[in-house]
Amino acid sequence: MSSWGQLYFQDAASPLMLQLISFHDHAMLIVTLIMAIVSFALISLLQNKYTSNNIFEAQEIETIWTILPAVILLFLALPSLRLLYLMDEVSNPSFSVKTIGHQWYWSYEYSDFYDIEFDSYMIPTNSLPFGDFRLLEVDNRTILPMQTEIRMLVSAADVIHSWTIPSLGVKVDAIPGRLNQLGIYLSRPGVFYGQCSEICGANHSFMPIAIESVNFPTFTNWISQFSK
C-alpha cells in the first residue's frame, strides 16, 4: 500500500510487476547515462574558447551519433516488447473470473464455481471500520488464490471503465460490448487495492477495487460456502 509521500512504485505482488519495476530501473539507468554525457558535452562546449570556421562536415562523428542512439534504442525496445507480450499472455489458467464495470461499482462472476456472483461497492467514510482505508475499502472483496494462474475477463455495462491494480502491474479497459482478458498470478498473500482509471462520470473516484490474496485451502473454503 502506498503512502502519502511515496515516490516509487508499490511493492510488487506479482512476477509481472517485478519485471515492470526492473525495466523501469533499466530505462532510468540509460536515461541517466545519456543525461550525464549530454550535460558534460554541453558544459565543455560552453567553456571552450576555441572556434573552427573551416570545418563543414564530419562524416565520422555523424556516423557515430547516428548508430549509437539506434543501439541504445534497441536496449530499450527489446525488453519493452517482451514485457508487452507477457502482459497480454494468458497461459493455462486454472479458472476465470469475470468483472463488469458499472456506474459506479464493480460486479464479479465466478462462473467456474456454482455461478457465484456479487457486487462490490465502496464503503462510505461514515461506515468505515477503524483502520481501513478511506475510498479504497469495499463491502465484498474479490477473493483469489495466490500462486495460481487466473484469467480475468473484463467488460462494462454502461460506459468505459478501467480495471487497475498497481501492485499487480495490470490495467485493462472495461468497454461495453467487448470482452478483454488478462492473466493474474499473485505471488504473496495480502489485500491489494486499485481504482477505476478511466473517467466514467460523477462518481468515478468512488468505485475502488480490493483483491484479497489467500492460500488455496482458504479459497476453496470460501467457494464452498456458496454451494450450501
**Per-residue pLDDT tens digits for 19-63:** 999 999 999 999 999 999 999 989 988 888 777 777 777 788 888
* Angle in degrees, CA 81, 149, 170, rounded to 5: 45
pLDDT digits (tens, 9 = 90+) for 69-79: 899 999 999 99
> In this structure, are residues 223 and 110 in contact, taking their beta carbons and an 8 Å threshold?
yes
Alpha-carbon span 119 to 97, nearest angstrom: 13
Alpha-carbon span 212 to 202, nearest angstrom: 27
- pTM for the predicted model, two decimal places: 0.82
pLDDT block averages, 10 residues each, the chain of length 228: 76 90 93 94 85 76 88 91 85 89 93 85 89 89 92 93 92 92 91 92 92 92 78
- The gap from C-alpha 40 to its chain's centroid, in whole angstroms, comes to 36
Q: Which of 190, 162, 132 is nearest to 12 (CA)?
A: 190
Alpha-carbon span 224 to 228, nearest angstrom: 7
Name every residue whose Cβ is closer than 8 Å to that of residue 206 and which is 6 or more positions away in sequence.
104, 122, 135
